[in-house]
Structure 1
Amino acid sequence: MAAILCLVLAYLAAALAGSLLPANGDWEEPDHGVRIFVYTGAVHTGVLVPAMNGIQDWRHLVKAEHFVDPRYAASSHLLFGWGERDFYLDTPTWAETDPLTVLKALFYGRRTLLHVDYIHSPKPGPNLRPLVISEEQYRQLSRQIESQFQLDRNGRPQPIEGYGPADVFYESTGHYNFVRTCNEWTGEQLRKIGVEIGQWTPFSQSVMIWFSERGAGREAQLSN
């Protein structure tokens, strides 16, 4: 028991250090570019991007017919999250969380899914923090997310029905574990394009502390 407690405390200490130590410490948010959002659902984070603009059109992967209600395809934005396959599919609400499913995801998780939600006209708020990135950064972010769709032999994404009419899952690449969590996935996407964020972001708070007020209320010339 003492050994387990020590491991837990060591993990939490490493998470705190990784969350507070900055990567890309010299980055500054540009005045012009693409406005995206960083989302938190208290436990899980994701990246909200324009469904279509002059840089990226997601309709070649995220198709209206993949959704229970295709009318949501007219929404302005797409929310991308990533996580362990069984946990996603077996836990439609946090109230239905099974500790055994959580432990399996953390230590035995293998297959993963991208979770995509349509969101229309998002507004900044406690769970949705605006962030302006350059057009080149958005182009890179789009390529990163695209590369994580697991395609079938015909080069097509593999959709799985979501929780409701406006969301869908897709088979994804990569393995989930206690080091590469759903929140570290969010941090990794932003870190790779040069945004200032923690070196390791295993928890939702690890991500969101970097975007508490950034960009809120600021008017920029945006290309979304």
Structure 2
Amino acid sequence: MIIRIIKFFAKGLLAFLMLMLLYFVGALIGSAIPVNRGWEPDGHITIYLRTNGVHTDFIFPKKNEIMNWEQLVDSSYTLSKKGNYDYVSFGWGDLDFYQNTPEWEDLTFPTAMRAVFMPTPSAMHVEFENMPRLLEPTVSISVSREEYKKLVEYVKWSFQKDFSGKVKPVPDLHYNQNDAFFHAKRSLNAFYTCNTWVNNGLKEAGLPACLWTPFDDAIFYKYH
């Protein structure tokens, strides 16, 4: 009986390891296949991509002739309420993960498993900045008006909105004085991560991207 139980768990572990291997092989293949590879950086609008080593954010100018982000989100949602900023960053992710993991050392196994394997709510992390923080790996990208328009529409679509078309803030959730969280569409899983969200936005805008990737490294490799 004990031998049967050991064999059962051994087979389960082997199956899990095989699935993990297939997942990482698929991620490597998807990351290696480029999308929009003929793109040339000839635009006049500068945006940024930033990663903390795991999670990627978009950074856009607060306002230009195409989009004034204050019409959708503004600093009144932050603790500081300060409006003298020039850039806005957007990151998409799992709401429970955001709530329970302000720092990576706070990450627990149950939080990670819920985020990856359960259909939990998502959130948009919005931060208001005077200049993009360059303490973390950051790349600048010169995009055209049409490319930026597509990125704007993609990010706007990702917010959940109420019946009046307004964004829905997450109460009492902040990482610092100049950020806020908002309810977002879709749910994070192993095949649709925070980096997949950024990669899909780049693809839709006609910018260099991967066919599919759950990781940040593959995105940044396209801009080096």
**TM-score scaled by length of structure 2:** 0.89
Shift of 1:158: 1.1
Shift of 1:121: 2.0
Does the residue aligned with 1:81 lie in a helix, a strand or coil?
A: strand
Q: 1:20 aligns with which of 20, 32, 38?
A: 32
Q: Distance in 1 between matches of 2:194 and 2:65?
A: 28
Does the residue aligned with 1:159 lie in a helix, a strand or coil?
A: coil
Alignment of 1:179-218 (within 5 A): 179-212=191-224
Is 1:171 the counterpart of 2:175? The answer is no
State the AA in 1 paired with 2:198: T
Alignment of 1:118-157 (within 5 A): 118-122=128-132, 127-157=137-167
Give the corresponding residue for 1:78. Answer: 88
Deviations 1:15-56 (A, max 9, x none): 1111111011221211x3211001101010011100111111
| Percent of aligned pairs with the same amino acid | 30
> How many aligned positions are there?
210
Q: Distance in 2 between matches of 1:78 and 1:3?
A: 44
Structure of greater Rg: 2
Q: Is the 8 A contact 1:124 1:130 kept in 2?
A: no
Q: Is the 8 A contact 2:59 2:89 kept in 1?
A: yes
Does the residue aligned with 1:70 lie in a helix, a strand or coil?
A: coil
Q: Is the 8 A contact 1:92 1:163 kept in 2?
A: yes
Is 1:66 the counterpart of 2:77? The answer is yes
Q: Distance in 1 between matches of 2:134 and 2:103?
A: 23
Q: Distance in 2 between matches of 1:33 and 1:141?
A: 15
Deviations 1:144-192 (A, max 9, x none): 1111111112321111232111111000111211101000001011011
**Taking structure 1 as reference, are residues 124 and 162 closer, same or farther at Cα in structure 2, changes over 3 Å only?**
closer
Q: Is the 8 A contact 2:159 2:183 kept in 1?
A: yes
State the AA in 1 paired with 2:160: Q
Q: Distance in 1 between matches of 2:97 and 2:131?
A: 29
Q: Is the 8 A contact 2:30 2:211 kept in 1?
A: yes
Q: Distance in 2 between matches of 1:205 and 1:23?
A: 15
RMSD: 1.4
Gaps of at least 5 residues in structure 1 are 213-224
Q: Distance in 2 between matches of 1:168 and 1:136?
A: 28
Q: Distance in 1 between matches of 2:41 and 2:135?
A: 19
Q: Distance in 2 between matches of 1:175 and 1:38?
A: 22
Give the corresponding residue for 2:98. Answer: 88
